[in-house]
Every structure is written in C-alpha cells, then in structure tokens.
Structure 1
Amino acid sequence: MIDADEMVALIESCRREIQAMLPVDEFASLSSKTRQDYRQLGRTLLQRARYAEGGVAEVMTATQRPTTYYKRLAALRYYLYADLVRHLKSLHSALSARPVDRLQVMAIRAQLQQQRAVLHEFDIARQSGPTGERRKRASKRQALRGLPGDWREQLYQRAAKGKYADAILVAALTGCRPEELRRGVLIRRVDNPRSGMGEIRFEIDGAKVKAHQGQPHRLIAYGAHDPHPLLEALRIRLARRRELLVYIDSPVNFTVEIRRLARSLWPKHKHAITAYCLRHQWAADLKRHAAADSVSQGLGHASAKTRRHYGQANQASSRHALQPIVIESECPVKPTAARVPRHRAASSTESTP
C-alpha cells in the first residue's frame, strides 16, 4: 500500500535537502566537462564511502591538500544534487502513471531514503571542514632547480621518435597547458608585411576561460630564422608544409610520458618533471627577456597577479632561453590592484585646513 501523504512528505523533504546544498545557481555555470568530471569523482567517492569506517566524512577529508578537499566537496555536492533531481523526476513519473507501478515507486522511495542519509553525512562533513594537517603544495617551478640549461632540448631529443614529440615541442615553445594541446595548437609559417620578416606562429585556444578569467585565444610568434635548437627542430617538421596542427588525446597520458622520459634522463633528480614544468620554464624565460604583461598574455591569463606563481627570471638560462617576437591575446591584462599604505589611508580621513 502506497501512502500518498508519506510520498509527498518525502518529496518535499528531498527538495529542502537540495535547496540546503548551497546555491544551485552555481551548477548552471559548470561546463559539460566539469559536470562529467564531478559525476565520475562523486560516484567514486560514494563507492569508497560504503567501505570506509567513517563513511562520507572519511573519504572527503582523507587528504592533506585543501584544494583536493574542496574539489571533493564540490564534486560530491553536484553528484548528490544531480542524483536527487533524477530520483525526484522518476518518482513524479511513476506516481502520475496509470496504473501506478507500485514496485517502481517503492524502489525509488528506498533510493531517496538512502540518498537522504548520505546527504546528512555529507552536510556534517561539510560543516566540519578539512580535518587533516595542511600540507603546503609544492610548486612545479621548484622542479626546475638542478636541471641542465638545455633540459628541454634533451627532453625533446629523447622523445623525438615517439608519439608525443610534436606536443612536447609545442609545450616547450609556448608554455601552453596540456588541456590546450588536447584542443589542438595550430602552427603556421607566415610572412609579416609590417616587419617584412618571416614568422612561425602558434595559435592557441585557451583553457580555464570564464566570464572574467583567462584568454580565449592567444598568439605567440618567433622569428622564422631564430637559431634556438627547439625552433630548428620545428623548422624541420615544417619543411614541406606551411601549417601543422598539433594535438593530444589525453593530457594525463601526455604528462605520464614526460615523467617517464625525464626519469630516464635524470634518475637522481629530486622532483617529478611534468608538462607544467615546460610551462614554468617558458614563463621564466619571458620574465627575463619580455615585458611583464607579455608573460600573462603568453600564459593565457587575464589578470596580472597570476603570473607570480610561474617561473622566475633567475631560472632562465642565458644560452637556452626562448625569446618570442610577438605575443598577443584577445583580452587586455587586468593590473594587480595597488595596496594603499596605511598611513595614507588614515590621513585621507583627516579634515583639510
């Protein structure tokens, strides 16, 4: 026997649970890829929670990195929200059908009751916050310490006959993100009518682009006769063509391959070398030779403050640094807000004679 009042109360209770899960509006702004990643991570976390002694709270807080904790928090919140919406829609459909499928309604009710219990655990864990001792995140630019000045050239030479040779070359010459390589980077040889010189141009569609964040598109160019060994290698690749589209299938596999190649080259190096190390090295080169905003534009940042996290000028080799001749981006770089000295702020409140 189905108690209609009980079912209505259950539906209303679940709706309140959804509304309590922080602003639902933020889910609307999530990209399809982020939704997919959150669904996968949320599903994995709930599967782990079934066998963990501390349940949902244990799997959420089993990390020393706050960034990992908050990613798990967001993924679980989205997964539970999406799952509740799905259950409620199924329940409405089952109750409105004629005749009512009682077995289906009972199964959905059991799922909703179980979901409410998980929601309760999630809410307690969310309010408690991260419980582990915070571990400072190591910057990938630290991994550049101790590497030879020509480490990028050595890495490319080791990869030259492999699947990711072109991708490593592009990442080294542009500092682009692995995700941007997945989308594809277009390389073109052109003659610039303004300078009368030949150029090798890289056109990059940005990742991490939102309303006020990131560069949707950027261009990086080198002189066609730049003697840098990495550009010489690229000229060989472009010998019989004027365009080349370089892309990868998996950013994860790309980074795994770079780690493997680096370990084979420098087995005693203390830090793991990843695709982002190429990005840090490129930023270090620009900080030594280019204008500050060019660093932000080349990295695909819309704000000047973000570049401080990437490479340092003293990590650029005088012999092996890259020097692009053109860096352009779709949006201007927002300057870092200047801090007003305290004594100035206090004096501004005083009355003038």
Structure 2
Amino acid sequence: MSDKPRHSKRYGLSKLDPQWREKIFASLHSQRLKLAVAVLSCSGCRPAELERGVIVRFHNNQLQLGIYGSKVDAQTGRGQPVRLLVVDQSRTWAQFLISELCRHESRHMTIKYDAGGISQRLREKSREIWPRRKTLISGYTYRHFMGKSMKESGETAEKIAVTLGHASDFSQGCYGRSGSGKRSAGQHGILAAGATNPVRHSPKTDRLERFIKPVEKNASSVESVGNCSRFST
C-alpha cells in the first residue's frame, strides 16, 4: 500500500472541528444558501441532487425530504430513482426548515442550489472560520459525514444504502469510515428512510464486515416511510 497521504473527504473527516456543521450553519446569512445547507445537513444528499431540487415537506407531523437520485441507470439497476427521508426535528437546521415551511400554506417547498456553487460557498466559509486548516468543507463532506455517522451509530447496511441513494449495500464503503472513538455516533438524524427499489445485498459486503468490529444494529426500519415511488407534494 502506498505511503502517500490521503486527501479524500472520508479520510479528512477526523481532522474537522467536532462542531463543524453547527459552526458553518450559524455563520450563514444568505437565506437561499442557508436552506441549501440545511438540506445537506439533514440528508447528506449529493450536490447534483440538490441542484435538481429536493422536496421538503411537513407531513403527518414529520419533517420529510424527497430526493430524486442523480446517479440512476435503469438498465444496470444503479442508484435509487427516488428516496424519502424522515429526519430528526430537534436539529438546528431541521428547525430552520420547519420555520420556513410554516410560511407556506401547503407546508412544502422545493430547495435548489447549484452543485458547484454550494461547494464553493462552503469552502469559502471553511477558510473564513478556520483560516489555518488545510481540510476544507464541500458539499460532499456532508455526505461522507452522514455515512460515517450512520455506521458509527450501528445502523443497518440497508438503511445506510437507502439514505445515500444506493441500489447495493456495498457502495457505502466509499463513504465515511467508522472510527474507534465513534465521535459522530447518533448525529446523523435519520429517523427512517425508504426508496423506490429494494437494496441489493452484495457478497462483498459480508467479506468487508469480517474486518469490522460488529456493533449493535439499530432497529429503525426502511419500510416505515412507505412507497417512495409515489412521493409527491
């Protein structure tokens, strides 16, 4: 294995301020940017999915996010066309979304932001808040954090795959790494997740788990949010 230092987002998570999401969010003044970052914080969606538009609604006393997958191929079975997440309402960014939804009679809205633009704004904020740090935050940092936190929280591979919009439970190996300290355990905020298609189990996942210390699995079900193919506003 090469001794060359790694600079990927998942390896850089351990170097970030433990409160980096909170500090970034508190520093935002633009309403449009704050809405976009709130969606990233709640869902860990891809920046390209945010660019397409994420539907946010308050339904059945739940804060729900509907995401149309950006990496989907029907012929190869890649990705999830649609996924629906139910998120923890106690988080600062979730409360902000709810307050904005209350301004709309329909209690739903579509939030969009340019994929390249959101990462550029976040990098600028990183330099502003932590001028001496080399590790900069981008849109994908939120996605890697989501994967890491869910792994450290003991969530099932199926629930993680659905949350990230994967068709297979093996793809999540590219997102985040469960650390020995488990600093991010319990911080992901995903209460339930559902997607258009069932998650395929890969034998590679079993081989990978042999090298990972088993943790108690969370009982949250991916079935509890219903049929996501019918998600609409």
Query: 1:237 aligned to 78, 83, 100, which one?
Result: 100
Is there any run of 5+ residues in structure 2 with no aligned partner, and where?
A: 208-233
What is the Cα-based RMSD across aligned positions, in Å? 2.3
Contact 2:55 2:65 (C-alpha < 8 Å) held by counterparts: yes
Deviation for aligned residue 1:340 = 11
One of 50, 60, 70 as aligned partner of 1:181: 50
Higher RCO (Cα < 8 Å, 6 or more apart): 2
The reply on whether 1:317 has 2:184 as its aligned counterpart is yes
User: Match for 1:270: what amino acid?
Assistant: K
Whether 1:283 and 2:178 are equivalent positions in the alignment is no
DSSP 3-state at the match of 1:325: strand
The answer to whether the 8 A contact 1:284-1:316 is kept is no
Q: Distance in 1 between matches of 2:87 and 2:204?
A: 33
Residue deviations 1:249-299, cap 9 Å, x none?
x21122111110111111122222111001111112211332221111111
Paired residue secondary structure (1:296)? helix
- CA displacement at 1:159 relative to structure 2: 1.8
Give the C-alpha shift of residue 306 in structure 1: 1.0
The percent of aligned pairs where both chains have the same amino acid is 28
Residues 42 and 189 in structure 2, CA contact (< 8 A), matched pair in contact too: no
Q: Distance in 2 between matches of 1:188 and 1:340?
A: 36
- Give the one of 18, 22, 28 matched to 1:153: 22
Residue number in structure 2 paired with 1:333: 199
Paired residue type of 1:267: P
Change in Cα spacing, 1:137 to 1:148, as seen in structure 2 (3 Å) is closer
CA apart distance, 1:322? 2.6
Rounded to whole Å, the distance in 2 between the matches of 1:177 and 1:142 is 18
- Determine if contact 2:170/2:204 at 8 Å carries over to the other structure: no
Instruction: Please tell me whether the aligned partners of residues 228 and 322 of structure 1 are also in contact (alpha carbons under 8 angstroms).
Output: no
Aligned to 1:5: none
Length-normalised TM-score, structure 2 = 0.77
Give the distance between the partners of 2:91 and 2:122, measured in 1 at CA: 21
Superposed CA offset, 1:50-92 (max 9, x none): xxxxxxxxxxxxxxxxxxxxxxxxxxxxxxxxxxxxxxxxxxx
What amino acid sits opposite 1:317 in the alignment?
A: S
Question: In the aligned structure 2, how far is the partner of 1:153 from the partner of 1:272?
Answer: 15
- Structure 1 residue ranges without an equivalent (≥5): 1-134, 192-197, 342-353
Q: Report how many residues are paired.
A: 197
Aligned residue runs from structure 1 range 132-147, under 5 A: 138-147=7-16
Kept after mapping to 1: 8 A contact 2:170/2:205: no
Deviation at 1:136, TM superposition (A): 7.9
Alignment partners' CA distance in 2, 1:269 and 1:165:
23
Q: Which amino acid aligns with 2:193?
A: I
Residue 268 (structure 1) aligns with: 132
Q: Is the 8 A contact 2:152 2:184 kept in 1?
A: no
C-alpha distance in 2 between matches for 1:340 and 1:144: 25
CA 1:313 to 1:187, structure 2 compared with 1: closer, same or farther past 3 Å?
Answer: same
* C-alpha distance in structure 2 between counterparts of 1:263 and 1:218, whole Å: 33
What is residue 231 of structure 2 aligned with on the other side? none
8 Å Cα contact 2:53/2:67 also seen in 1: yes
Q: Which residue of 2 aligns with 1:300?
A: 165
Which residue of 2 is the match for residue 168 of structure 1?
A: 37
1:218 aligns with 2:218: no
The CA deviation string for residues 164-200 of structure 1, in whole angstroms up to 9 with x for no partner, is 1111110111010111011100001011xxxxxx210
State whether residues 58 and 98 of structure 2, in contact with CA within 8 Å, keep that contact through their aligned partners in structure 1.
no
CA distance in 2, matches of 1:207, 1:179: 6
Q: 2:66 aligns with which of 203, 213, 222?
A: 203
1:316 Cα deviation from its structure 2 partner: 4.4
More helix per residue: 1
User: Corresponding residue for 2:111?
Assistant: 246
- Superposed CA offset, 1:112-170 (max 9, x none): xxxxxxxxxxxxxxxxxxxxxxx887321122223222211111111243541111110
Contact 2:44 2:164 in 1 (8 A): yes
TM-score by length of 1: 0.52
Distance 1:327-1:179 versus aligned 2 partners, 3 A rule: same
